[in-house]
Amino acid sequence: MRFTPNTPDDRRVMLETIGVAQVADLFADIPAAYRFPALDLPRPLTEMEVMTELQALADENLHLGQVASFLGAGAYRHFTPSVVDMVISRSEFYTAYTPYQPEISQGTLQAAFEYQSMVAALTGMDVANASHYDGATAVAEAVIMAINVQRQKRRKIVISPTLHPMYRAVTRTYTQGMDFTLCGDENHNSDFHALLGLCDSDTAAVVVQNPDFLGQLHSAEELRDLAAAVHAQGALLIVATDPIALGLFTPPGHYGADIVTAEGQSLGNSLSFGGPYLGIFAFREDLARKSSGRLVGETVDANGACGFVLTLSAREQHIRRGKATSNICTNQALNALAAATYLAAMGKHGLHRVAELCWHKAHYAAVRIAELPGYALVGDKPFFKEFVVHCPLPVAEINSYLLEEFGIVGGYDLSQDYPHLGQAMLLCVTEMNTADEIDDLVDALAEINQTSLGDALSPEEVF
């Protein structure tokens, strides 16, 4: 069935209006030899044949339902209750887009409101929006928001070197040409005292991550002291976090964060190649009118019935383009719905249990690996579900051997972003990794070391 909105008369009038006789005349500037090239296409296929061919192609892919994976670095394999896919597959949510007309968008608006409420409770903040593109753009928008809060009078942003490298890269892309300075992440010192040394009266915000990209956990006391020092300079504290970790540890709002961001992929969203993911964004109430994205509020209609509307966000943000405070006007509504469904299904006890499993399994793996000759844990800070291991061989070689010989997806090669760490691997363990998988990883790493794939430096030679 073909749907053509324009009738032949419609097309004739449009062509007359622009002064051409036929549609082909619109392509006159293209050389004739290239205008309508012959395409060497295969014969037409039936739907059944197409599905058979696509299935054969799909079967060549290796997915994480087939192998054990210890790769994290910002995208994580967590258990997703079946109810999440059931809810987000409902047509009224799956096809919904813009809730500008509240009278016909109550379901979408209520879902966003529930999402915001749970995110605010999870992060310990006053307000959360719904939502941003991903964790990276959430950090970039937090930086721009801080600049706007300071009325663009402060021109420096201090960034921790252990903030996710992709978050830092996206932030630099977002802010290029905006005539302010990003600093702090060019050195290798992750100590907060080094960041405070850069924080002065021209600083709009300090950006840190907890747990950070290397998996390290900073204590609430340490971050509370950092927040006090940052606020003493009149700057804002932006904290990127892991929403799963907040099921177990102090939320950023309780130690003085002004803006909290996170990647929401781990909350019921699939581990897809490139997303779409979900940018979590929460903040203090007094910053609400400077927030990008959408805010949904609960109200009552003329008859006193409960209803939901977009609120507190200046309409100019969505329509003034170059003069707007942000380029975010759409959102990841379906991903936010998945996160809300996940949080509602898990509840505070379920989320706490997931975080506990991640903690204990990661520490079990770290203890076992640290016992292997040639391997050593890097750093002395507590960690959550990720930790750094110095390896006796290049990480790329180890990962290739793990996958080819043992069917194991290894950790993240930190030489790409932190070359000063040497042959360092960032390993991730979640509730999805069984004890047998961890033991298999340990055995594989031991065997790899014994095969002597190449000469290796000792940890003492690197650090």
User: What pLDDT is recorded for position 457?
Assistant: 41
Residues of CATH 3.40.640.10 domain(s) within the chain? 82-342
Domain 68-77+348-454 of CATH type 3.90.1150.10: yes
Which residues lie below 8 Å from residue 374, measured CB to CB, with a gap of 6+? 391, 392, 449, 456, 458
Core vs surface per residue 406-439: b (16+ CB within 10 A) or e: bebbbbbbbbebbeebbbbbbbbbbbbbeeebbe
Buried b / exposed e across 190-216, counting CB within 10 Å, b at 16+?
bebeebbebbeeebbbbbbbbbbbbbb
* 49 neighbors 311 (Cβ within 8 angstroms): no
Token duo for residue 60? 């060549």
Specify the 3-state DSSP secondary structure of 203: strand
**Distance (Å, rounded) from C-alpha 116 to C-alpha 310?**
12
Question: What does R_g of the chain's alpha carbons equal in angstroms?
Answer: 26
**Type and span of the H or E element at 69:** strand 68-69
Residue 191's Cβ-side half-sphere holds a number of Cα atoms within 13 Å equal to 5
Q: Which two tokens stand for residue 351?
A: 């989320």
- List the pLDDT tens digit at each of the 463 positions of the chain: 466 788 899 999 999 999 999 999 999 999 988 988 889 999 999 999 999 999 999 999 888 889 999 999 999 999 999 999 999 999 888 876 677 788 888 999 999 999 999 999 999 999 999 889 999 999 999 999 999 999 889 999 999 999 999 999 999 999 998 888 999 988 777 778 889 999 999 999 999 999 999 999 999 999 999 999 999 999 999 999 999 999 999 999 999 999 999 999 999 999 988 788 999 999 999 999 888 888 999 999 889 999 999 888 665 555 666 667 776 766 788 999 999 999 999 999 999 999 999 999 999 999 999 999 999 999 889 999 999 999 999 999 999 999 999 999 999 999 999 999 999 999 999 999 999 999 999 999 999 988 755 444 444 443 3
CATH of 82-342, one of 2.30.110.10, 3.40.640.10, 3.40.50.800, 2.10.109.10: 3.40.640.10
Rounded CA separation 100/309 (Å): 8
- CATH 3.90.1150.10 placement within the chain: 68-77+348-454
Return contacts of 111-115, CB within 8 angstroms, 24+ apart. Answer: 111/333, 111/336, 111/337, 111/340, 112/294, 112/296, 112/308, 112/333, 112/336, 112/337, 113/296, 113/297, 113/298, 113/308, 114/340, 114/344, 115/336, 115/337, 115/339, 115/340
Q: How far apart are CA 412 and CA 442, in angstroms?
A: 16
Tell me the CA distances in angstroms from 463 to 15, 218, 292, 414, one per residue in order: 72, 22, 43, 15
- Please report which helix (H) or strand (E) contains residue 296, including its range: strand 296-300
Please give the Cα distance from 10 to 7 (Å, whole number).
5
Q: Which residues contact 211 (CB under 8 A, 6 or more apart)?
A: 217, 218, 241, 242, 245, 383, 384, 385, 386
The answer to whether the Cα torsion of 280, 284, 287, 289 is positive or negative is: positive
How high is the pLDDT of residue 322? 66
Supply the pLDDT for residue 223.
96
